[in-house]
Chains A and B, each alone.
Chain A
Amino acid sequence: MSDGVLRRNRPGSKAKDFCRWPDQPIEEMDNTLAVQQLIQQTIRRDPSNLEAILKMPEAQEEGVWKYEHLRQFCMELNGLTVRLQNECKPNTCTQMTATEQWIFLCAAHKTPKECPAIDYTRHTLDGAACLLNSNKYFPSRVSIRDSSVGKLGSVCRRVYRIFSHAYFHHRAIFDAFEKETHLCKRFTHFVTKYSIISKEILILPKLDDETPISQPVGESEA
């Protein structure tokens, strides 16, 4: 690399040193994964700085920018899922719900199914992983067809339900996770900024820093 820094994780290095290297300017990234690298290094620097994270570089194709962000969201959602796995059991959360208004059906099956919340979460993420890595719809990480960009919306909509379920049913987990990653805030900002999903669907109250969200409002079990 031009700055003489080898951005590598050497076997045997400490956990705290993992990926801890000086930021690389986007114009020096000359490989196909530049956008992912940029997003990840910005998040690593400060996960709460939404503006910096969502600030698209000039001359960046917007489709790719959105696609890479969604990949990152799905990836980080694994963390929430891991936490949920310990608490959100199929016998307690038998349906995927947020508010009592809707029951979400799991689209991963041939005929949409009333999966328990944890299965809905896992299936949605697995399905998103398959779709976002599909060679058919997203053969390239450098440019993306418009028709494929359209697919991102439905993924976002489903992914958002994971946040909302966690928020309404597993508030403690949600808050702890949110405090660490600011993921839901970042996601909401993302989908609003690029108008990926309509405002009515965004049922979570605004997660502003001033609102004391660290206090669980009471976990509903249904």
Chain B
Amino acid sequence: MKIPTAMDDSSVSHHNGGQVGSEIGVSVNNKQNEESSQSVQYSIPGILHFIQHEWARFELERSQWEVDRAEFEARIAFLQGERKGQENLKNDLVRRIKMLEYALKQERAKFHKLKYGVELQQGDMRPPSDEPPVEPEPAERTQWKQGRQLIKQYLQEIGYTDTILDIRSNRVRTLLGENSEEQTEESNYRNCDKHRYSTNTAVGRKRMMYDYGGKDQQCKGAVSGGYNEEGLSVQENAVFANFEFLANQEMDMDEIEDLDTKQAHHTQIKQEEVDHEAEEVLNELNLLTETEADGGGQGDEYVGASDEKPLALGELAQLTVSNEPEAYDVAGASKESFRKTWNPKYTLRSHFDGVRAVAFHPNEAALVTASEDHTLKLWNLQRTVPAKKSAGLDVEPLYTFRAHTAPVLCLAMGAPRSEECFSGGIDATIRVWNLPSATADPYDPYDAAVQGPVLRDHTDAVWSLSSLQGRLLSASADGTARLWSPRAARPLLCTLRDDALTASNAAPAAADFADAATRAAVVYNDGTLLLYDLETTQAVLRVPCSSPATRVRSHPSLPVLVTAHEDRHIRFWDAVSGRCAHAMVAHLDAVTGLALDPNGLFLLSGSHDCSVRLWNLDTKTCVQEITAHRKKFDEGILDVAFHPVRPFIASASADGLAKYALLVLVSLVLPTYRVYPTCVAVSRRATGTPYEDASSRPPQWRLRFVNDSVTSPPVPID
């Protein structure tokens, strides 16, 4: 990630480190020179300072390295994916060639039938003359076998195995199966004249004889070719063997066609595409048959006969080339079908009114939601109630927290293992809750111990809470942000107030800890961003902004603050200089929710436009969009959250539902820091069915920007 702030900071700290280092270097010299007076040069704070700076520098460098590594790994993944794509393409082309050959054969068979009828009227003596080629000589057989072996090797080399057939080729086959009849008939008529013309020639007659063999005609043709012209090269033999190989495969082909008819409804959806493809195949087919016919026409000459097959091959080669762009399209289309859409895995419906905030448990698959219906609810995502088939899973709340006397607006989860959470609301109180165990029954007797201390210093609605290292930061409409030690005898640690802003009636909209909990970033509803030093409670950085802000989050490892604004923007600020590092229009309406993943690689945002978007912080591109919520009045999404350690995200909305999705953001959970820009959600697989809303909207979690590199492997057909 090329965030200049990191560079600035690292260089600064480097500089500092260098200074301290040189100082120490000097002192070391002194020490060597006069050992007795060295204590003057050393001081514990100085050393600590130095070590701190060094450490900070290394941390920064490390994070940069990690980011670089992630980038490279993404690149590798991309290249690998590309290679795979190329291979698939190759396989596809080979298969297409075979299919065309197969179609050609079928067509010849038909053509022969037609012609046979004609010749029957003429009263020819063809049938008996057919006998000899049916019995090929042993020498020929071995030659075939060799050739077959060779072609098999060749096919294996290019990566074709019978068992791996991907959907793409299958579809082409479907098309072939559906269209082969009319194709062959058409080409039959087209080629009829030519063939009639060529019946007079010797080779033409010969062909008729071979054709009598029906499906095996081609290889027989090949055999007789080898029989008559000894000058045939091994290569040609291989080609002929291939033909026989194909003939043997015909059974398989038929089976696949059967399969295809079963999948007919699939093809119908893609009919347009198929039609286009059909045309292409048809053209190719005609081209081929024409060359065949031409070859047949000049077949009685030695040169003509030996030229025939290479010519056909040449056409095939040309076909490959001309097909390339189209094949790419096909590949793209099938990859489209591989793309997994993101579905909400669970819908948490038990609130009577809009859900204002959502927070995940620090390590369990549990979350707490806070709602305008005055309650908080605890959900254990591992205890689900199977719902209707169409609707994914429903989760029933484990516990309902009742104590607020007005809508609850914000939530913060306590430190890991503290099993506590905090909530603040319109009633100006901040409440501490002891979370019931994840196995509690919702209908257990009432336990008053769930309610912890109540912090009542705010005088107006509490809009934002943030918890870190046992401390709590709150932002309230009374114009202050406060720092708490929630369970202490005197919980209020300090009050952060800015006189100028209070005078202008601006109130904090959100607050977050920054800079390893030594500072607090507070955004005000007039757009101002203030960075308070928590020691001195003085503002150390002031950044004005024109648009009212709704959220602020500080990056977990970089000195970057992210703010959400009502003017649809998300802005990134350098927490050291206050410079706007980046600003982007992120939504169609006011941005209301922000969450950073624990590694600081992804950003989740929610908006009143009812969409949740996932951003790659590196490229600042949207990698996923989810629109599963509905509006109440003009409010849409109100909060979004990342699970700290598990691959979950959640969104809370004014429609009273909290939705929760399972993501397989591998990068988010694996310590190896592997980045898959295409990280695909598998919630559909996990739930078995796509999410379907009551209003039967289509599933709408889908990958927006997918780097095509990492897609799932071709699906084997069984």
Contacts and interface: CB of A to CB of B under 8 A. Distances in A.
Contact of B391 (A82, A126, A139): A139
A211 interface: no
A106 B394 CA distance: 24
Interface in B365-379: 373-375
B402 A85 contact: yes
A11 interface: yes
B contact face: mostly helix, strand, loop, or mixed? loop
Interface stretch (B70-78, B266-274, B285-293, B460-468): B460-468
A78 B551 contact: no
Contacts of A75: 352-353, 373-374
Interface residues of B, number: 60
B508 interface: yes
B509 interface: yes
B655 interface: yes
Contacts of A123: 443
A42 interface: no
Interface in A59-98: 71-72, 74-75, 78-79, 81-82, 85, 90
A7 interface: yes
B428 A15 contact: yes
Interface in A106-149: 106, 108-109, 115-116, 118-119, 122-123, 125-127, 129-130, 132-136, 139-142
A71 B656 CA distance: 12
Nearest to A125: B400
A10 B566 contact: yes
Contacts of B426: 15, 18
B388 A139 contact: yes
B445 interface: yes
B509 A33 contact: no
Given A135-B391, A139-B694, A15 B460 contact: yes
Contacts of B463: 11-12
B633 interface: yes
A79 B350 CA distance: 17
B407 A37 contact: no
Nearest to A113: B443
A37 to B, nearest CB: 6
A8 interface: yes
B477 A15 contact: yes
Contact of B352 (A21, A74, A115): A74
Interface string A1-39: 100001111111111001001001000000111001100
Contact of B655 (A33, A71, A82, A119): A33
Contacts of B349: 133-135
Nearest to B393: A135
A1 B445 contact: no
A162 to B, nearest CB: 13
Nearest to A84: B402
B461 A133 contact: no
Contact of B400 (A32, A33, A129): A129
Interface residues of A, number: 52
B695 interface: yes
A106 B428 CA distance: 34
B446 A122 contact: yes
B352 A32 contact: no
A13 B630 contact: no
B374 A79 contact: yes
A6 B477 contact: no
A118 B477 CA distance: 34
Nearest to A6: B634
Interface string B438-466: 00001101101000000000001101100
B487 interface: no
A33 B634 CA distance: 11
A34 to B, nearest CB: 9
Contacts of B347: 135
B631 A8 contact: no
Nearest to B349: A133
Contacts of B428: 15
Contacts of A133: 349-352, 656
Contacts of A10: 509, 525, 548, 550, 566
Contacts of B387: 135-136
A89 to B, nearest CB: 8
A129 B402 contact: no
B703 to A, nearest CB: 26
B408 to A, nearest CB: 11
A18 B507 CA distance: 14
B405 interface: yes
Contacts of A14: 460-461, 477, 507
A8 B446 CA distance: 35
Interface of B: 347, 349-353, 373-375, 387-388, 391, 394, 396-397, 400, 402-407, 426-428, 442-443, 445-446, 448, 460-461, 463-464, 475, 477, 506-510, 524-525, 548, 550-551, 566, 590, 592, 608, 630-635, 655-656, 694-695
Given A74-B352, A85-B402, 16 more contacts: A6-B634, A7-B633, A8-B590, A8-B633, A8-B635, A15-B406, A18-B406, A18-B407, A18-B461, A21-B633, A82-B374, A116-B446, A127-B443, A129-B351, A135-B391, A141-B694
23 contacts: A8-B633, A11-B525, A13-B477, A13-B525, A15-B426, A21-B633, A33-B630, A33-B655, A36-B353, A37-B633, A75-B373, A75-B374, A78-B375, A82-B405, A85-B402, A90-B446, A116-B445, A122-B400, A122-B446, A133-B350, A133-B656, A135-B388, A140-B694
